[in-house]
Each structure stands twice: as structure tokens, then as C-alpha cells.
Amino acid sequence: MFTDYDSYLFHEGTDYELYKKLGAHICEKDGVRGVSFAVWAPNARAVRLRVSIDGNGWRGVEMNEERSYTVDMERGAGGVWETFVKWAGKWTVYRYEVLGADGILRKKADPVASFSQKRPSALSIVWDGSEYVWGDGAYMETVDAGQAASRPMSIYEVHLGSWKKDYRENPDGFVGYRRLADELADYVNYMGFTHVELIGICEHPFDGSWGYQVTGFYSPTSRYGNPDDFRYFVDKMHRCGIGVILDWVPAHFPKDPFGLENFDGTALFESPDPLLAEYPEWGTKAFDHSKPEVRSFLISNACYWLNEFHIDALRVDAVAAMFYTSFGRAQWRPNKYGGNENLDSIAFLKQLSVAIEDGTKGYLIAEDSSIMQGVTTPVREGGIGFMFKWNMGWMNDTLKYFETDPVFRGWHHDALTHTADYAFTERFVLVLSHDEVVHLKKSLFGKMQGSVQDKFGALKTLYAYQFAHPGKKLIFMAQEFAETGEWSEARQIDWGFAEDPGHRDVMEEIRALNAVYRKYPTLHDDVSVDPVTFEWVNRYDAVRSTISFIRRNPWNYDGAILAICNFTPVRIDGYNCGAPVPGLYKRVFSTYDSLPSENPKSNGTVPLEAAEMACDGYNYAIRYDLRPYETVYFELPGGQIPG
């Protein structure tokens, strides 16, 4: 029953457990077990519920009109329509038939359905997630969003439908959540990643949208199983010590007729303002964040994934689109201050951030390409409140640099080094994401220049540079073994490359990088957001296209890492690098270490003694034979910073 108090919270925009009231819920009424249904459609003339008679609609794609019937729903508090069906239960298939304010009858999926039939069906399914018994209690006791910035975060970005396919299991090749959980957890642990980030889990009708055009905001996609199967997936990851990040889309939704568009014959979830109603570039409707009911719907959805599915974090998609009314629009209306900032959406994001901080164990990551300031500053300190922000500038500048012929890289050296100038303006995640390996952009391997051997060398030094640079880390699946082709959601990534020696070498390098990254706090502790944790040794060697820098804690060089990067296929014998303190510099990583032909006793595994000489502004230096496309890490001698 949707009470007056529920209505008050909902229309105030502060009902963060809306999913417990709207949608379909198994319950008892007057001693009879059944399902209560509730849907918000305040401007509808009438709403009917159509349900399958026997509840066995799982394998079908359309409602069997002869084996189903309709129930007239009653309008209750706050424009919510309700009914109770006494024989319904788990697996019951249903939809709403909404007679809109415009007199048009629309067949709609439940906006708060916890389960949906697999596309192309538009039907909702009754589900009860309370029956699942979680086994991740030990992991959940360690979860502390406040500590996320100081802990290692190396993310493996995954699209489950193309990570693994098996056409014996499913005509579409989709593998179930449970099998995926078991196989993916083993692989992620083997590779040393700390988190998985999942693309396309919220139900969506079009595979080619990758899950970014959502129709089932509360439904884990049925492509891989039911909601409890997905709970098992998260549970398994947690029991293996792996965090789970979910891509989440509160900016827009598609125009599929069974979805949210014109839900009750009016612009209910979208804006009635034609200059704000759509994102023309994507062909989608924009959520109207000025409406308190929309805020309740979306913030409840975020809390639902974090609380009911134990998701660690939500990566919020298209944040820049929400920041600006001018995003992707030829015409836009200035706000009351004359600017292009979308004040309603910014207020929504701040409210969302506070709700997540106060009501869940999770946190938010912004996929944001804007120049908006304070994205990762707490709301109570005047910011937007995200924990992390994707560093799109780093990805764009770095990949452009690597796509440049090494002969000309010296002219673009600033594009590479400039990324350190803003590395501490926010808490960043350095991403090499799916967006950069689709739509004729080439794979990461394909972006590299020169011969096949040069491509391997350049890609390995790119990864090593990424792991030493300030910020958390993210790599999209198949890039860890240098897949040569672009990614497609329609096919499985080519695991055959992982068996080729050159590609396997890249894979082993990623394992080594993850191990070093997790071992040294100076590489992963970004809690300070303080430039003092990064120190240039030489940023100006444009002629040879090399850089060197130190990652350290603010107090001393104990456990600090000196990184030297050679971005060309040219060997530099006797490379002198400034050293801040005297003592022995131990080599802890090189891009050459994973090569089967590499002699483990050669070229610097013996610690280097810093010689007393002026170099790079220091009084000491180490001398190293820097090989083509080599990035090397040295552990600095412990001790206090020279006064």
C-alpha cells in the first residue's frame, strides 16, 4: 500500500527506498498470498494490469493474450495506481496498459520491475530477491568508502556478453552469470586486478547500445540469467576479494514505446521543455532532474544496486551531459544566471552524492569530460561529491601522443607531460576504456606506431607509464593481451591472442604491474590529492622523448618509486637520471622483465649505486642502459628528504 507518507517523501524527492513500494511485490493480503502491483502514472485516465494466467511466461517473448487477463488498477495517493492479484507469484509475467492523458493506450513495462524478459520482449517478471543467502559478509565488513582513495584500485572493465560466449549454452552465445562469476573471478585474481567494472547490466533492448540506453533501471539484464544469478555473481567476486563497479545511467533513456517516454501520455520522466527534453546526438530522452519524483526514482535506483546487490560503486555515465544545458544541443536556454550550467541536474547529483554517502556503503565515480571544478570535492565542502572522476584528458592526450610517429613525438612532448599539471585537481581514475577501441578508433595495439615489435614495446611502456602516473587504473578487457582488432559486443574477445608469445608477454606485464602497484602505497594511495606525492626528475627531455619522475609519500622517500620512460624505439646507453638521495636504487620492474628471452641477471637487476654528480637538479645520479620502449621502476633508498 502506497501510503500518504510514502507519497509525501516521493513528491518531495527524498524517498530513497521507492523500489520497496512501487513495482511488484510478493505479499499477503487478508491472509491470501499474492502480488501487489503499484505504478506511478499521475496523468493517466486509466491503468490496467495484464498478467499471464499461469505465470509461465519465461521462455516466451510475447504475452499470450488467450492465457492472460487484465485487472483494472485503482488510483491512490500521489497518482500511484495499485492492485493486488491473489494467485500471482514469482515468475509471473506482466505489463501495464496505460490510457494516457492524450487518449492513447500504451503498453508499458514496469519502470521499477526487478526482472524483465530478454529482448525483444518488453514484459516484466515478478521476482523476490529476499530468498538469496549472501556469503560475502567478511568482505562487506571491510568495505569503507572513506578508505577507497587510499587503497589499490586497478579496474578490469568488462562487457559480460563478449568476454565469453558459448553457443552450446545459449543461441545468442550468452553465458550465465554464475559461470561467468566463477571463471571471471579466477581470471581477475590471476591477473591481479582489484575490481571489475561491468558494462550493460541494467536491462536494455538494443545490444549495440552496450547497455547505455536503459529500459529496466531496476532489472539486471536477463541475457545472463535472473536477479539471484546476478547476486551470485557479485557474491562470488566479493568472496574472492574483488570489488564490483556498475555502470549506471541517470542522464537519459531511450524512446522505445514500452519504456519511460510519455509514460502516462505526458512528459513524465523527461522534461516538457523542448530545449531540454532530448539529447539529439544519442536520440534519447533526457531525465528531468528538476522533478522531485524523478529524483526519488533515480536516487532510489542507485541505493537499490548498492544495498540490495552489494555493488561497491556506481560509475555514473554522461556526467558532462548533465552538467550543461548546451551539451550536444544546437539550441539551449541559459540558466537564471545567464550560464549554460544545468542547475537542476547539478543539484540532483549533489543530492545523490549525499544520499549515497549517508545511506549506503558505496560511492560514485564520474565519467566526465567537462572542466567543471570540484567534481570529487565533498558536497559539504561545496563540491559535487563524487569519490573519483575518470581522467578523460589524460586518456585523450596520452593516446594522441602514442598515435604520433616517434620521429615527431618531441614536438608533442608537452601533451604528455601536461597531464601531471592537473593530476591532483581531482581524485582521478586513469582510463583506457572501451570508448577508445570502437567505431574505427582501432585497438590500443593498432594505435601504436611502427613494426609489430615496436607496437608491443610501445603498448607495454604505455601501460607502465599509466601505472606509475598518479590516479587509479582502468583497462578494458582484451587490451591486457593486446588484441589487434576493435571490440564488438557481438563477438567474443579473441582469447587466442593470449597464447601468442608476444601478446602473452603483454599479459604477463599487466600481472607484474598490478603486483607492483598493490605492493607500494606510494603508487596507489591518492587520498591526499596533493602534488607533493609526485615529483618530476626530468620532464623536458623532448629530444629523446623520455621522462622521469618520482612517486613518494609527503614525508620521506622510504618506499618511493623512481620511474623512467623511453617513448621511442631507440636505445639510450648510459642514460643518466637524477637521484634525490644517495644509496642503492633497486630495480623492481621493467617492461622487459616478462620477455622469455630476458636474462634476469642482466641490465640493472643488481641495485645501482647513486653517484655524486649534478644531474636533473639533484646532487646524485644513477646510470642505466635504457632500452627501446623501456619503462623501468627503481625503489629509492629509505630516509628523510634532504633538508
Instruction: Kindly state whether residues 162 and 276 are assigned to the same domain.
Output: yes
Q: Tell me, what amino acid is at 632?
A: V
Residue 376: CATH number of its domain: 3.20.20.80
539 located within any domain:
yes
Rounded Cα distance between 610 and 585, Å, is 7
Q: Which tens digit of pLDDT belongs to each residue from 155-175? A: 999 999 999 999 998 899 999
Q: In terms of Cα–Cα distance, which of 276, 256, 268 is closest to 101?
A: 268
pLDDT of residue 57: 41
Instruction: Kindly state whether residues 123 and 172 are assigned to the same domain.
Output: no
Which residue range(s) make up the domain with 93?
A: 4-128
Helix, strand, coil percentages for the chain (3-state, nearest 5): 30, 25, 45
Instruction: Kindly state whether residues 300 and 384 are assigned to the same domain.
Output: yes
Instruction: Kindly state whether residues 187 and 85 are assigned to the same domain.
Output: no
pLDDT of residue 643: 38
396 located within any domain:
no
Instruction: Kindly state whether residues 221 and 113 are assigned to the same domain.
Output: no
Question: Number of folded domains in the chain?
Answer: 3
455 located within any domain:
no
pLDDT of residue 60: 38
Instruction: Kindly state whether residues 313 and 351 are assigned to the same domain.
Output: yes
Q: Is 270 a catalytic residue?
A: no
pLDDT of residue 283: 96
Output the nine-digit C-alpha cell for 9: 517523501
Instruction: Kindly state whether residues 185 and 295 are assigned to the same domain.
Output: yes
Instruction: Kindly state whether residues 117 and 165 are assigned to the same domain.
Output: no
- Tell me how many helices (H) and strands (E) the chain has: 14, 31
Q: Is 367 a catalytic residue?
A: yes
Q: Which residue in the list 367, 397, 426, 483 is annotated as catalytic?
A: 367
Query: Buried b / exposed e across 580-602, counting CB within 10 Å, b at 16+?
Result: bbebebebbbbbbbbbeeeeeee
**Domain stops at, among 348, 369, 390:** 390
DSSP 304: I
Q: Which residue in the list 229, 317, 436, 541 is annotated as catalytic?
A: 317
Q: In terms of Cα–Cα distance, which of 42, 39, 22 is closest to 101?
A: 42
Residue 549: CATH number of its domain: 2.60.40.1180
**Domain stops at, among 369, 390, 411:** 390
229 located within any domain:
yes
Residue 117: CATH number of its domain: 2.60.40.10
Q: Tell me, what amino acid is at 510?
A: I
Instruction: Kindly state whether residues 268 and 319 are assigned to the same domain.
Output: yes
Instruction: Kindly state whether residues 253 and 215 are assigned to the same domain.
Output: yes
In 113-215, which ranges are E strands?
A: 124-125, 154-159, 195-199, 202-203
642 located within any domain:
no
**Summary mean pLDDT of the chain:** 93
592 located within any domain:
yes
452 located within any domain:
no
Given a cut of 50, the residues of the chain with pLDDT beneath it are 55-61, 600-603, 640-643
pLDDT of residue 1: 79
